[in-house]
Structures are given as structure tokens and as C-alpha cells.
Structure 1
């Protein structure tokens, strides 16, 4: 008898052990699982790194709980609900599959990760120190940052943000220009930088037309742009943080009786980190190495690439289908965790510095400043 015939016969026998009606007893003899036929060895091989879609679905299917006998459990006849199935719930027989048909190696299922629900903006109001997003006002910012704010305000309003060295190239490309856009700046380095920016711009247009994923935007557009932007600053580096989660001790607390989900596969996309001088770096290493494992980082995450280098600017990326509210929620929770971490490191009650943040939705960049207002954190958007 072929294996397929044996297996079919065995399955029919197994199915016959189930209760066929409400009047049947649960004392039916247990089928001898040791007689189950073994399938022939499969010669098909496949990389375990490429699980089939069906296998992944099967992995997510809840498995039946073990029972000592068949379960014949009647639904509660007094429960006021619309029936969703038969009036009996059946459980599989309890005998272990000691000699069950073994699947070929190519069918081995692998676990699939599940992303949790996005952090909502309303979540930030539940924090013990809530975060509020507001329109920018100069008075919201500390005085030491006013000069920086004024320079940024001019750029946002298209005043003096392009070096004069590239004006001719813009005009040669039939670009419309205004005198107020340019500042005095000459040199071959500026022309080279302009060429690189045009290449990144062309790539950005391409991935937008292709409706590419967020990962593609990070790889082809935002990563190269950030690298170019911080090239003149040797101590600043862009770090991809899509795998950096908030360490448990620094998850921000909520007000009494409030709750929000703390498990996220990703909080932010990029971070601009600062490489401190060697003496400072050594001091940081000594300090964090004396802490418990879950706290061994200068930041709120123990992700290796940023364990010893402070993150100065967190950046959250979204594609066109992404939500600005979701981006604010993720960035806000990240900042709240940063405040928690910094408070744990401080030895005095001095106030926190204003923290710059960036939200990017395809070609549009938004600059924000998180400012400690005592009872809350205000995130002002420029």
C-alpha cells in the first residue's frame, strides 16, 4: 500500500474518533498513534532563511491545549450571544504524536515577527510627564538657542540658503531663482556638493514614482543625504536605528491607571550621534560598564552602535502612506524615554537642554525642538 493511501486511511480513522453528535459519549477508545505511517524521506531542500508563506501562517495558528481526555463542553445556554458555531467545542485527543508523520525539511516553519500597533499621539498625554506638540514660538525656546533658531527661520523662509557658486548652474538648467536665496560662497567643493545633491534628488524622484518602501527611501535617499550633510563634521555620524528599541528601565511611566503598549519593533529610523573626545569617551565607558546590563548605554537604548555615543538628533522617516500623527507618537515616546535616561544619569536637578528632532515624510522635512517645561515636555515645530 502506498504512503498516500496509508496516510489517508490513518486520517480517516483519526477523524472517526471525534464526537459526531451531542449524544455520543466522550469515552471512545484512544487511537494508537504509534501506528501512524512515516512518509518517505523528502529530497527537496530549501534554505531555512526563506520560509514559505503557508508555513509562516501555520506558525501563527494557536495550538490546542493538552487534555487528559476528549473535551465535551457545552456552550452556556444562558449566555446572550449570537451563535458562532456548533453547540459543542471539540478538543484534539491528548495522546502525544510520538510517531506522527514527519514533514520534509523544506516544510519547517519559522517564527514570524509581528509589529505592534503604532504609538498614537494621544498616548503621549498619558505619560507621567506628558508631551504636547505645538506650533513654534521663539519664547518657547531657551535663550541659548535663539541665535540658532533665527538662522533656521531664515532658511525656512528661503533667505540665504544656497551658495552663490551654484547660481549659474541653476540658471543653465532653466531653474527659476530669486536673489534672496543666495549667500556669498565660492569654491570647487560647493560645486561638487551641488552635483551630489542633484544625484540624490534624482534618486528621490525615482523611488517616489516607484512607490518604494520606507527601507528603500532610507537606503537610497535619506542615508546618502545625511552622510553628505554631516561630512564636514568629523564628530557627527548618522546611525541607522531601525533595530534600536527602548531599554526596559527607560520606558517612560504613565499616570495612575493609564496604560500604553511598550513593545515596538521600531521606534525611530535614524540618529545623529556625537563621538566625544577620547577622555570623555573613556569616562562614559567606565560609567556605563558599572551599571546593570539593561542600563549599559549613554542613551535610552542598549543597541550596540550607539551604546557609547550620545544621540543628539533623533529622526523619524515616513513614506507617503505614513501618518504624521504616528511619526509624532513614535518620536515623542523616544524623547520621553531619553528624558528618563538623562534623569537617571544626572547628579543634580539642573534642567534638560532643548532637544532637536526631525520628521521626514518623503521630500518634506520638519524640525522640532523638545523643551522641558517642568511638568510637561513641549515639542515645538518649525
Structure 2
């Protein structure tokens, strides 16, 4: 039996236990002002929340308050039909038809976009990536090889003894004056204790089979905050609530936008708002749980200088309301601050396809948004190559999003930039995030500043 039937029955039992003696007058559910403004999503890894109890008369004006009979009747085996009469809707229930959103459950489905996204495996990326990201590629390759990761001041620390993964080249050969040795040791030890604490949380999360939200809260967020502590130009932003603006939703080959769910499901993405048609909402919601509408988890956001922030504000003042964001989302923390690095996290039970699709749709929307900026700048040149990060459990990998004009390539050479499950891995990860921070400062910031400057000047 389908899960939505079971859920509808459970909901009826809940409502029966919660019905008041004197029903209040029926009120029509107020539709969220932003219901059609953003892409709603359902998160399988989100901690379940009990829906608000509904009044007995909540849906009595149009249908029975009980959703279980209608849910059960929607199943083909239980559908009641007059003898000799078969309507088209009964013969092929709409809930059983292929949902457009379910096309986006596999990596290859991204080839159906107007600007196709190709995930491509490569043995090596040296010759495949553009020059704009090559310094970052080289820096992350050195980190992956374990070069100069560990502070020399901690050579005698017990955590680094008898670990065959730690080689001679793993130690930093930087030497400090004797006067600075004590301060260097204290700083290195404090950093080490913070990293070791995160490793403990990561191992516990794996052994306890924590959800994606659990990993994010206990492992990934503390790591990102700690690793960017000395990068004043970067902010760590959790963006699981960020949704793509309609103006920047990727297009299908047919010219249609990547489809939104129905208004009922859209409203349910932010709250349980429907007071009727619960079974329909559950059916549609189930179809959405693995669709494109669940976005990525984090962004490393540029904290602009005063001059760059003034330039961004000036650019946005000239944009129509439906495009008033420097990124592809109206989520306020990203509305006026560029986001050059996106991070998608999954537990080990999550699928690679799901991670690829979510990243793919998100970066497609970013490309669509930045192309509109580039067109105002009067340039047809390709967009900057973006690094994106996938996290599966405690293991972090980097991929590169390359603009090829008619399509977008996401290049992957299985570059593991670190992990949170052992002490060497987390030092690698800290060094990798530092390399990403340098790329944002040295490459992305000058590029986006030049792009916005030309766009604003061309408006004058």
C-alpha cells in the first residue's frame, strides 16, 4: 500500500483524537504570499515535525474532513466505478502519471535542460580545466597529496605518533624564531583541540547513523566556522531554505521552466497550510521528496568591501523586482552578497544521483543569473569556473563547474580534499578550505567586481 494512504490514515486518527466538541466556523486557508515565488522542497533527511492539528470543520465546506477514504479510493484496486462506465480519469489516475519533477532524479536527466549539464569523470583535470581555476586545482592537489599539512610545533603530540599515513612530507618545515615558539605551540595546540573535537563528533555521527541535519549541525557547520575563522572576506551561510527565484529557474529543452509543484505543495514546503485535499498533497509531496526542489546546504559567501557593496547595491537598484538579487535566490543572506562556493551534503545512505541533481540545478540557476549580469556588462565571454563541494558522510570532494556556452560541464577527478573521520583528514580539509578562501579573494572577487562595474557603466 502506498505511503500516502498510510499517512492519510494516521492523520485521520490524529484528527479524531484532537477534534473539539464544538467545531469552529470553517476558514479558508490563507495562501502564502511567496507560494509561487520560490521553489518549495521536501527534505527526506529533515527531522520529522508533527503537522498542526486541524479543526473538525476545516475541510467540511468542500469535502469530508477525513482524508483516508479519498486516499484509499484513489488507489486503482479500490476505485469505485459504475458498471459499464470508465472515465479517462478513473482509468489513468492523475496521481499515477509521470510527474515532470520526477524526471530530475538521475544525473542524466540534467541533459534535458535547455543548457544541458554534463557530469564528466576524468582521470586528471590538468588539461581539462580553464586557466581561471588552475591555481586552485594545483593547491588542492597538493593538499590531497598531504604536503606540509601538520604544524611542526606538534611533532611530539601523541595524536601523531604511530600513524602510518603521516609521512615526512606531511609536516610543515616552517621555522619560527625562538621568541615566537611558545606562541606558535599554543596556537597550534588550540587549533588541534578544536579539530579533534570535530573528528569525535563525525565518528559518533557515522556510528549513530545521524540524519543529514544532524551531520550539518554537529559536524559540518562547526568545521566550516572554524576553518574560515581567520578569513574576514568569507561568511559561512547555511542555505537549506534558499530557493531559486522564478526568473532564474533553468529551462527545459521544450522552453518550459523546470516545473514548480502545485500551489498546495508549494505552501506545504514552508508550512502545513492546506486544510483540504490532504491525500492529494501527500501524493504530490511524495513525488517531490527526491526531486529538484530540495536545494544545497551551504554557501561560502563573499563579505564585500564597502566599495564592492556599494557597487552591488547600485546594480540591484537598476534591476526589476523579480531579479533583485545578486545570486539566483531571494534568500536574504544571499540577496546582496555574491556566493562563489556551494556545498551539498549527504549522509552515506544518500545517493550520488541526488547530490548531483541538486548541485546541477542550483549551479544552472546561478549560471542563468550571472549571464544576465554579463549581458548587461556587454560581454559574451564564458563565465568563471566555479568549484563546488560534495560531502558524503565525512568525506569531502571538489568538482569544477565549467561554462562551455551551449552546455555546462561538471568535471570530477575524484579529488578528495579531506574528511572529518580522522585527524590527518581534517587537517587536509582545513587546508583545502583555506585554498578555496584564497581563490575567492584572488580570482573570484576581481572577476565579479569587473563584471558589475561594466554592467553599471553600460546603464549610464
What's the TM-score once normalised by structure 1's chain length? 0.69
May I ask how many residue pairs the two structures share in their alignment? 297
Matched, 1:308 2:336: yes
Q: Structure 2 CA distance, aligned partners of 1:62 and 1:169?
A: 72
Aligned to 1:189: 187
Runs ≥4 residues deviating over 6 A? 58-62
Deviates more, 1:317-326 or 1:188-197: 188-197
Aligned residue runs from structure 1 range 147-226, under 5 A:
147-170=135-158, 174-176=162-164, 177-185=166-174, 187=184, 188-226=186-224
Aligned residue runs from structure 1 range 11-50, under 5 A:
39=21
Deviates more, 1:356-365 or 1:161-170: 161-170
Give the SS at the match of 1:206: helix
| Contact 1:352–1:372, Cα closer than 8 Å, also in 2 | yes
Distance 1:51 1:181, change over 3 A: closer
Question: Out of 114, 117, 140, which is 2:128 matched to?
Answer: 140
Matched, 1:336 2:367: no
Give the SS at the match of 2:127: helix
Give the SS at the match of 1:184: coil
Gaps of at least 5 residues in structure 2 are: 1-19, 25-48, 65-75, 86-100, 176-183, 262-291, 416-460
| Contact 1:251–1:262, Cα closer than 8 Å, also in 2 | no
Distance 1:305 1:53, change over 3 A: closer
Aligned to 2:296: 268
Give the SS at the match of 1:140: coil
| Contact 1:140–1:371, Cα closer than 8 Å, also in 2 | no
Give the SS at the match of 2:396: strand
Q: Structure 2 CA distance, aligned partners of 1:152 and 1:52?
A: 45
Considering only CA atoms, is the larger Rg found in Structure 1 or Structure 2? 1
Q: Structure 2 CA distance, aligned partners of 1:60 and 1:202?
A: 50
Quote the offset at 1:119 in angstroms: 4.4
Q: Structure 1 CA distance, aligned partners of 2:199 and 2:352?
A: 22
Q: Structure 1 CA distance, aligned partners of 2:61 and 2:201?
A: 44
Aligned to 1:280: 308
Q: Indicate the structure whose relative CO is greater, using CA pairs within 8 Å and at least 6 residues apart.
A: 2
Quote the offset at 1:53 in angstroms: 7.9
Gaps of at least 5 residues in structure 1 are: 1-37, 43-49, 66-80, 90-115
Q: Structure 2 CA distance, aligned partners of 1:293 and 1:119?
A: 32
| Contact 1:126–1:258, Cα closer than 8 Å, also in 2 | no
Aligned to 1:355: 386
What's the TM-score once normalised by structure 2's chain length? 0.58
Quote the offset at 1:174 in angstroms: 4.4
CA deviations 1:163-203 (Å, max 9, x no partner) are 32333225566433221222224623222111100000101
Q: Structure 1 CA distance, aligned partners of 2:23 and 2:62?
A: 26
| Contact 1:270–1:315, Cα closer than 8 Å, also in 2 | yes
Q: CA RMSD of the aligned region, Å?
A: 3.2
